[in-house]
């Protein structure tokens, strides 16, 4: 019986070799050659490359967006720091004015006192800035790029308005110093 099985195995191997030679058009070379219409390894590699090609592009776009978000967040923080510095400077300049006003006659000093009412506005602006910073601490990590750009634009706008007020405050301070100097000359 074992001879019979081995004879069948030999016949099967001969038939397979004959079939293969007939199909491939030559003797067996030991090399695997796909049947006609069967995909080859190169086809699989090409399909894999086409399927995987969008992944680096997706990663690049994502990193670019995250980079833009990070830059915008840094910009917001820089503008907030600059605004805080400018508000502190404004407060310091406002505190320089009362000694200048005290040397003026009452009629002139009334208009100068109107300028001094800006101190509560500076305090309110500092409070708003603190609220901005708290918002950034709580929601900055999850804020969208649009929200960060809006916050940055608001801070830039506040800084521009404050710059105008600082210029006006400098003019008033110079006028008060000049008026105080003129008053001392007339009394001397």
- Residues 98-139 have pLDDT tens digits of 777 777 666 555 555 555 566 777 788 888 888 888 888 888
Instruction: Give pLDDT tens digits for 1-29.
Output: 556 656 666 666 666 666 555 555 555 55
Please tell me the predicted confidence (pLDDT) of residue 20: 57
Instruction: Label each residue of the chain as H, E or C.
Output: CHHHHHHHHHHHHHHHHHHHHHHHCCCCCCCCCCCCCCCCHHHHHHHHHHHHCHHHHHHHHHHHHHHHHHHHHHHHHHHHHHHHHHHHHHHHHHHHHHHHHHCCCHHHHHHHHHHCCHHHHHHHHHHHHHHHHHHHHHHCCCCCHHHHHHHHHHHHHHHHHHHHHHHHHHHHHHHHHHHHHHHHHHHC
* Residues 36-95 pLDDT 10s: 666 677 888 888 889 999 999 999 888 888 788 888 889 988 988 998 898 888 888 888
pLDDT score, position 117: 64
pTM reported for the whole predicted model = 0.58
pLDDT in tens, 135-182: 888 888 888 888 888 888 988 888 888 888 888 888 877 877 777 666
């Amino acid at each position: 019986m074992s001879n019979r099985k081995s004879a069948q195995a030999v016949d099967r191997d001969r038939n397979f070799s004959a079939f293969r030679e007939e199909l491939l058009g030559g003797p067996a070379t030991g090399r695997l050659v796909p049947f006609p219409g069967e995909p080859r390894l190169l086809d699989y590699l090409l399909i894999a490359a086409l399927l995987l090609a969008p992944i680096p592009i997706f990663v690049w776009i994502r990193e670019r967006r995250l980079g833009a978000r990070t830059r915008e967040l840094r910009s917001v923080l820089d503008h907030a720091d600059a605004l805080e510095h400018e508000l502190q400077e404004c407060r310091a300049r406002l505190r320089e004015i009362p000694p200048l006003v005290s040397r003026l006659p009452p009629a002139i000093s009334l208009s100068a006192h109107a300028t001094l009412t800006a101190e509560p506005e500076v305090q309110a602006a500092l409070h708003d800035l603190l609220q901005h910073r708290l918002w950034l601490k709580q929601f900055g990590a999850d804020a969208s790029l649009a929200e960060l750009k809006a916050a940055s634009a608001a801070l830039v706008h506040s800084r521009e308005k404050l710059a105008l007020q600082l210029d006006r405050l400098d003019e008033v301070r110079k006028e008060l110093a000049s008026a105080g100097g003129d008053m001392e000359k007339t009394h001397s």
